[in-house]
Amino acid sequence: METSLGILLPLIGTLAILHIVQAQSQQGFINLDCGLPANEPSPYREESTGLQFSSDATFIKSGKTGMIQANWMDDFLKPSTTLRYFPEGRRNCYNLKVEKGRNHLIRARFVYGNYDGLDTGPKFDMYIGPNRWITIDLERRVNGTREEILHIPTLNSLQICLVKTGMTTPLISALEIRPMANDSYSTKSGSLELFSRRYISNSSSSLRFPDDVYDRQWSSYIRSAWTPISTTSVVSNSNSYEPPKVALTTAAVPTNVSAPLTIEWTAENPDDQFYLYEHFAEIQDLQANDTREFNILLNEKLLYGPLIPSKLVLTTIFSRSPIICDGGECSLQLIRTNRSTLPPLINAFEVYRVIQLPQSATIEEDVAAVKTIEATYGLSRINWQGDPCIPQQLMWDGLNCSITDNSMPPRITTLNLSSSGLTGTIAAAIQNLTQLEKLDLSHNNLTGEVPEFLGNIKSLLVIILSGNDLNGTIPQSLQRKGVQLSYEGNTRLIPPGSPTKPQKTKVLVPIVASVASAAILIVVLVIFLVFRKKKPPTVQVVHPPSSRPAMNVTYAYSPEPSIEMKKRRFTYSEVIKMTNNFQRVVGEGGFGVVCHGTVNVSEQVAVKLLSQSSTQGYKEFKAEVDLLLRVHHTNLVSLVGYCDEGDHLALIYEFVPNGDLRQHLSGKGGKSIVSWGTRLRIAAEAAQGLEYLHIGCTPPMVHRDVKTTNILLDQHYKAKLADFGLSRSFPVGGESHVSTVIAGTPGYLDPEYYHTSRLGEKSDVYSFGIVLLEMITNQPVIDRNRGKSHITQWVGSELNGGDIAKIMDPKLNGDYDSRSAWRALELAMSCADPTSAKRPTMSHVVVELKECLVSENSKRNMSRGMDSLSSPEVSMIFDSGMIPRAR
């Protein structure tokens, strides 16, 4: 009887012949020698198989080439002697043309061979499209490794990606793709990762192309309790699986003819699912009264039987459904029936583990559109590789996507190419992003007219075209209700509905406007002088001489008007009233004291007063006001208003009730010690605030004083970056740094900036790295009583011991996931690298911290159960929606 396995009857004829012809001609095969030097011939013939291997250079746009060291050359042949490694970017991907809906064998080879002289094998992840396939660990597998999977692509393109997961550099030696027969290796779900593929023989040789028409690799296998048998006759192998004919000429039977023939293996995970494929052919000459008949059992449960193998003709038994072995221990047994005179035999077998790759790729039309846009503008972004939307932590810069569930393809909803050096007209391919909600093309060199098709994208609600050189009339279709359109700075652009008049009229309008403006100015001046004359001298305020700049001076590179024209300006008497005469002091810093206050009856505020003895002055006051009135982000403290009255300067902020991060690390002032999960979330949120300053502002900003006392926590422990008095902006034009007087806090100060006075965004990254080390260790940044006084030196010395417990804050009592802790520590040390060029960007930091938090959440979910998902300590809610850019 038959249960969960089914028999595949022989398939003989032209179809099988066609398969062989196609495969032996290598039709559809992709053979890439990764890192093949430019001075070597391509393609070349690989010696053992005769396969034609080519350079991988045209299949990937990143990476560098290398070669294993000379003392490794004797152990490897081409294509495993060369490699491509990826020191830049988080994800690097091969783009391959395949046949949608057809099963493909994908095989990748990895040999480290100490190519870099560091003698440290890398560890990284491999992805197929948007799904993680496997982790490659070449530190453990020092002689290299080969990974293989049977996968059905859902598109006519296939992306194989290497993803950096730690401090080591991903590499690959060879990549091979083979189209398989359409009706072979079917599964109910998932792809098939090779677990074992053996042919039964006492030979030491392995088999592949041309013996195997699909270039599967077969290793020989025999057990001491078996007796090998063979034939010189040809065995027909013409079914859809077509194992090598030479593999079917050998087999084995149990030496004890009454004993079962047993094959055993152990699953890496007890829940692993397997598919089995067993190949049988009778290769012995049987006597008239001989019978070979046996049943197939797995862990003593009948899978199929009885089976009588056909003489010199292949029979393949394969599983229709995935199989799970109790406790992960699998035992396949072939047991002769009572009427069989001969023991069971087997010629070859294959075992595959089910790999679920559930995440749908971004919808094909969106991917094609954004790639066309990339080509149109000649963009070259290292992270624009792989799926644009998935996984979320690797989403392309400048994109946002709607991601519902694994089964639904993500859609691109935001395209932000601001300040990307774009030239030419607005790309027509944008109209193919039919779910686009926000488009930002500001601060480029775009010319031509605003296209009508933007108005036809019904989902498009925010369009930012500022700072280009567009001309013509804005289409009426963009004036529909709900659309926010920004186009300032395009001097030749005519708003919709504006009359287009002859040049004479255009000249007249400025003249009339100038005359009218002059007349208004004269009237205002007369009124001012009259009122000033009538004004009683007792209410005049005489300002003492000072170096304060005039109030109409705007911030450097800012197109904004003076601060009086901004948000609410409070009088000093209002400040006194809102603070109840400065009754409650909640903090003190270099600026002065900070008092609690209330505005609008119930809104709590923090009032920061500039004292006469303050080390900061009007310049810092003006800088902070100007910055906070231009920016808005959920992880930046927001400004309610300010007071600028004589010598009375004050900043009125939203009140952040839980104090600063330093207090919650030390436990001072009765503050609670925050958990590791909460620390990771706070770090990620603070990093998001810095990322916004660096890439979300126009011009970009550098905070210059990132430290734990400047990270405040609200009632939900959400992080808010504060104290922008030392912040500086960059001039627009691509400069990566500005020269400035050194400012900041000792210990957190970027050493490169300190020595060169060249301030850059990576200066904030260094300071954030020190903050992250504080959060991990709860050690002082500078401690003269330590053998290594600076925290980076102390952590560096402790790292040599390899014990994370000696580095982590003892107040955590070991309650943390070691993987997330190690990853955060590696990130912190990378941020605090003395050389700015080696530091990551804040965008990369945000991605890494979110992944650390995912790891920590997974640990807590396993230990606490699913209820922990609602815990505020491991909340994964980040404000990633549309936020207004600073102008």
123-128/131-137 β-pairing:
antiparallel
Lowest-pLDDT range of 202-206, 283-287, 597-601, 660-664: 597-601
Q: What is the percentage of the chain residues whose pLDDT exceeds 90?
A: 55
Q: Residues within the annotated binding site?
A: 608
Instruction: Supply the pLDDT for residue 480.
Output: 78
Which residue would you say has higher pLDDT here, 589 or 654? 654
Pick from 514, 548, 701: nearest CA to 621? 548
pLDDT digits (tens, 9 = 90+) for 318-354: 988 999 998 899 999 999 999 999 999 999 999 999 9
Six-digit token string for 628: 């906070």
447 class by beta-carbon count within 10 Å (0-12 exposed, 13-18 middle, 19+ buried):
middle
Angle between helices 791-799 and 818-831 in degrees, nearest 10: 130
Instruction: Indicate whether 867 pLDDT > 60.
Output: no
pLDDT digits (tens, 9 = 90+) for 722-738: 887 677 776 444 445 45
Give one DSSP letter per residue of 138-186, joined into a string. Answer: TTT-TT-EEEEEEE--SSSEEEEEEEE-SSSPPEESEEEEEE--TTSS-
Cβ atoms of 226 and 165 within 8 Å: the answer is no
Average pLDDT over residues 574-578: 93
- The size of the chain, in residues, is 887
The pLDDT confidence band at residue 532, using thresholds 50, 70 and 90, is very low
Q: Residues within the annotated binding site for ATP?
A: 608
For 791-836, the three-class secondary structure string (H helix, E strand, C coil) is HHHHHHHHHCCCCHHHCCCHHHCCCCCHHHHHHHHHHHHHHCCCCH
Q: Mean pLDDT score of the chain, rounded to an integer?
A: 83
The pLDDT confidence band at residue 869, using thresholds 50, 70 and 90, is very low
Which residues are annotated as catalytic?
705
Q: Residue 375: phi, psi to the nearest 5?
A: -70, -40
Lowest-pLDDT range of 178-192, 488-502, 564-578, 672-686: 488-502
Instruction: Indicate whether 863 pLDDT > 70.
Output: no
Grouping H, G, I as helix, E, B as strand and the rest as coil, residue 79 is coil
Within 618-672, residue ranges assigned H as helices are 618-630, 661-666
